[in-house]
Structure 1
């Protein structure tokens, strides 16, 4: 062996050792900080210590949650951190069964101001049965908590996560930028109250792809201030479909713009694709929306705009929604409706919907009679075959 080969071999061995040493020093296993995978011991403090170590790391770090079941109470993983962090979960994280321990926190697990962050794998079970029972009984209950929340986060990847039995929303993105959510599964019983799947608001550049949502409320709820949102390859049902809104809760409200929902399947859901606003004054808007290449399977309201939303009959009777809806395209939507009125576009009397496009729609009624459509103050055009017959004003 030549001297140059020996020198190269020694250098390679040294570099490999250094790389392994650095990698090992940047892995923060929660068990090493005192977490117990027994599903009984409170591991909140240990998770925080592991996070704090990763957060101050000068180079990329990984927080590891190994196999086992870990009990977590209300917890905030705060940033910004010095370097990229991967939160790798192989086990199951569970919440306390007593819903009263959450108080009025509003969240269970919160990632706040994290940048260049990845949440990978794991099952998160909020064990909300007691909370749901309280809600259904009409008792004076806490407001409930969101299972996994991201506030003011940037450049985030969420992959392979399963969330079960959320008290209210499974996963919330608020004030976030550049987020990819892929191959995530959100599961709660169809009769669980207000258990939204994904909720996104005041966020830009969010993609949901390849996810399954089976829950008791909206599969995806899109709130004010959402821009450049892509939802693709979603399997929704049971649930209330994909909803833009409710909007017009406030007079001054950010609009929703550039939303695409494509290549998705809705099965047995209350709605397919919905735009919903309160019958109240508002300076909000919804524009440049594409609903395309969708399959409806026994969906109650496959295509719906409702600008007369006023479920409590308080603060909105005899009012009209100020939300301006424009440039909404429905293209290649096919399948079956569980109700005869498969397409319902009810727009505001004071702010009619404009620029609505229906193209290649084929929705049939399950009972063997033709499906129908209903429009109110909706203006646009129809292209290709439209079934049921288009009701748009030109």
Structure 2
């Protein structure tokens, strides 16, 4: 694209956004507050412990330890080093954009090549179990049994994406030399030695490591919060100028051919921008069957939404990891998830004899745990957010004062 035309286009979009903000100030403020509430109550307090833990595990060499142990699994399955297992597991446990954050850190530490990092990012940005079971299945659909189906589809399709992406640029890569040697001892001993060697290279005292972990995590989450608020406002403004209704017509034709109610067009288009908003609107639509709504929710969970994709792009921008492989994988994830939903809908949902909000015994403990955890998080989340924001300010002020 011509750089001059790109400049004109970006300027025009920004000017239009500014005009809409001036024309709809009340609606923009309400949308901004909704985004801020979601970030302060759920996103910040739920992701902060995982971000801090990830930084500490990297500093203490535990990721190197896992890398040696899981190399025999991750290399043949996903064609990435064993250290990628850390990003995969943390991504599933904590949700987006943890996978991108960890992949970027591993790339910065030269534990991954550029191509390996791009492969890792493509399948480690999952939705968390807390969001799937607590927010989506219980909070929006009021049907906890959906959690099992959505989780199986989401994580299963993402693993398929990872296997598919193992072939990405396989002829061009030059892998990092694998350093662990097992001929002089067991793989566990070698893993421990690698962990100790990594920890010994870091001269920082424990207090400084902990402070840096907290500060870096808060900085990343503040950036995430900014994107959540921004896209909350953008989606609301697009709805006010009927842009959402106009472009949703493109999907209504496809939905008609697929047998999906066309009334789901607008909610689906909204979900392409922001997952929570799209899932909320989809759950509010009345349909004869639940299957079409579950198919679309599975797609937008896999697609991540432009809001999360913007967060990932911002994290990757600090490295040489390219964004397009991640975007391609998101589209692929959404398509595979939709197909798996159709295949698994009967065995994982209908065969339980579920009607309405009935909950099968097999899934009750897990669903109840995540639903209760989500409810507790929304009650104590704001206090956690405020406390750590204040702590982050103090750490930032101390670092600036020490530096000067």
Task: For CA contacts below 8 A with separation 6 or more, give which structure has more relative contact order.
Answer: 2
Q: For this structure pair, what is the TM-score category when the shorter chain's length is used for normalisation? A: under 0.3
Q: Which has the larger radius of gyration?
A: 1
When you count strand as a share of all residues, which structure comes out higher?
1
